[in-house]
Amino acid sequence: MLDMGTLSVGQYNFVGNAFSFGLAVMAATTIFLWLMRNEVAPAYRMAITITGLVTAVAAYHYLQIMMSWNAAVDISSGAVVSTGEPFNQAYRYVDWLLTVPLLLVELILVMKLTQSETWRKSLTLGGAAALMIILGYPGEVAESLGPRFIFWILSMIPFLYILYQLVIGLKDSISKQPENVQQLIKVAIYLVVASWAFYPIVYLFPAIGLTGGAAVTAVEVGYTVADIVAKAVFGLLIFMIAVRKSEHETGKASTAAKKS
C-alpha cells in the first residue's frame, strides 16, 4: 500500500496535476467522439458510442480520484500532512473493471466480424480482462511485497492470454478488413499491447526499489499516462478506423475527412 505521508509538496502537486490532465483528456475525448458519432456509417456507431463511454467513465473516476487525493493530505502548513482519510486506490480498479473489457469490445465491433464471432470474442476477451483486473487489486493494496508478487503473477495469466488473442488470434480477421484500415487496426492492437504492458511494470515499481514519495509518484503518474494512451489515444484510433471503413463501404468521404 502506498504511503501518502512520504510525499513532498512538489510530488503531491505533480501527481495532482497529472490527475487533472487525465480528467481533461478523457472529458474532451468523450465530447469529441459523441459529437462525431454521425460521421461514421450506422454499423460503426455502436463502437464509437462505447468508445466515448469508456472515456466518460474514466473521466468520472479521475474526478473521484482527484477528490480522494485532495482529501487524503493537508499541505496548508507547507508540508504534506496526512488527514487520516485514505487515498482510495479502488477507484482505479473499479474504472478498469468497467472500461478495460469495453476497450476490447470496441475494437471487435469496429472490425465488423460475424455476429457469432463478435459475441464469442467479446465474451472471452472481456471476461479475461475482468479477471485480470480482479486478480490485480489484492496485490495493489497489500501491505507487503509477497502478496503483490503473487497477485501480479496471477493477473499476468489472463493478461498474456489477451495479448496472444490480439496479436495471433485476430490475424485472420484483420486480413479480411479493407486494405486502407488493416494497418490502422494493427497500430491499434500494438498500441493496446504497448500501453497494457506498461501497467504490470508500474504495478511492480514499489517492489523493485522505489519507496516513499518516489513510489507513490511513479505509480500514480505511470497509471495515468497508461490510461490516457490506452483509452483516449486508442479511442481516437477506433474513430479513424470507423471513418475509413465507412468511406470504403459508402464510397463517400466523411465531413471530418473532407475538412482534413
Instruction: Give DSSP secondary structure letters for the chain.
Output: ---GGG--HHHHHHHHHHHHHHHHHHHHHHHHHHHTGGGS-GGGHHHHHHHHHHHHHHHHHHHHHHHHHHHHEE-TTSS-EE-SPPP-THHHHHHHHHHHHHHHHHHHHHHT--HHHHHHHHHHHHHHHHHHHHHHHHHHT-SSHHHHHHHHHHHHHHHHHHHHIIIIITHHHHHTS-HHHHHHHHHHHHHHHHHHHHHHHHHTGGGTT--HHHHHHHHHHHHHHHHIIIIIIHHHHHHHHHHHHHHHHHS---HHHHH-
The predicted pLDDT at position 197 comes to: 83
The CATH number that applies at residue 78 is 1.20.1070.10
Least confident of 52-61, 116-125, 194-203: 194-203
- Does some domain include residue 224? yes
Domain span at residue 19 reads 4-255
Give mean pLDDT, residues 233-253.
86
Whether the CA torsion 47, 184, 192, 13 is positive or negative: it is negative
- Does some domain include residue 260? no
pLDDT in tens, 127-136: 999 999 999 8
pLDDT in tens, 145-167: 788 888 888 999 999 999 888 88
The larger pLDDT score, comparing residue 7 to residue 68, is at: 68
> What is the Cα–Cα distance from 16 to 135, expressed in whole angstroms?
27
Report which of 148, 108, 150 is spatially closest to residue 129, judged by C-alpha positions: 108
The predicted pLDDT at position 253 comes to: 53
- Does some domain include residue 115? yes
Quick check: 178 and 244 in contact, CB under 8 A?
Answer: yes
Q: Pull the grid cell for residue 249.
A: 463501404
What's the total number of domains in the chain? 1
> What is the Cα–Cα distance from 234 to 227, expressed in whole angstroms?
10
- Does some domain include residue 124? yes
Q: Is residue 251 very low, low, confident or very high in pLDDT (cuts 50, 70, 90)?
A: low
Residues recorded for the chain? 260
The larger pLDDT score, comparing residue 213 to residue 94, is at: 94
Q: Is the pLDDT of residue 258 over 60?
A: no
- Does some domain include residue 177? yes
Least confident of 89-98, 177-186, 200-209: 200-209
- Does some domain include residue 222? yes
Report which of 115, 113, 195, 138 is spatially closest to residue 162, judged by C-alpha positions: 195
The predicted pLDDT at position 260 comes to: 47
> What is the Cα–Cα distance from 211 to 6, expressed in whole angstroms?
9
Q: Pull the grid cell for residue 167.
A: 496479436
Which of 191-200, 202-211, 227-236, 247-256 has the highest average model confidence (pLDDT)?
A: 227-236
The predicted pLDDT at position 254 comes to: 52
- Does some domain include residue 31? yes
The larger pLDDT score, comparing residue 136 to residue 21, is at: 21
Give mean pLDDT, residues 19-28.
98
- Does some domain include residue 184? yes
